[in-house]
Amino acid sequence: MMSLSFLALLMTPIYFVIPAMMLYFVVKLAVKHAIKELKDDRIL
């Protein structure tokens, strides 16, 4: 029973960290492309 709770304690942050990192990279990439397009259109 102790090993199950220890495993849950290790896995819980992973369930939150992985989606947060994926969201961070998707937003970062979207902002990068948006800035590039605005520069191409000479808005920035």
16-27 confidence digits (pLDDT tens): 999 999 999 999
For residue 37, what are the domain limits? 1-44
Tokens of 8: 């849950």
Tens digits of residue pLDDT in 4-43: 788 888 899 899 999 999 999 999 999 999 999 999 888 7
pLDDT for 1 equals 56
Overall number of domains in the chain: 1
pLDDT for 41 equals 86
Spatial contact of 2 and 11, defined as CB atoms under 8 Å apart:
no
Number of helices (H), then strands (E), belonging to the chain: the values are 1, 0
Q: Which of 33, 28, 25 is nearest to 41 (CA)?
A: 33
Residue 44 pLDDT more than 90? no
Predicted TM-score (pTM) of the model is: 0.64
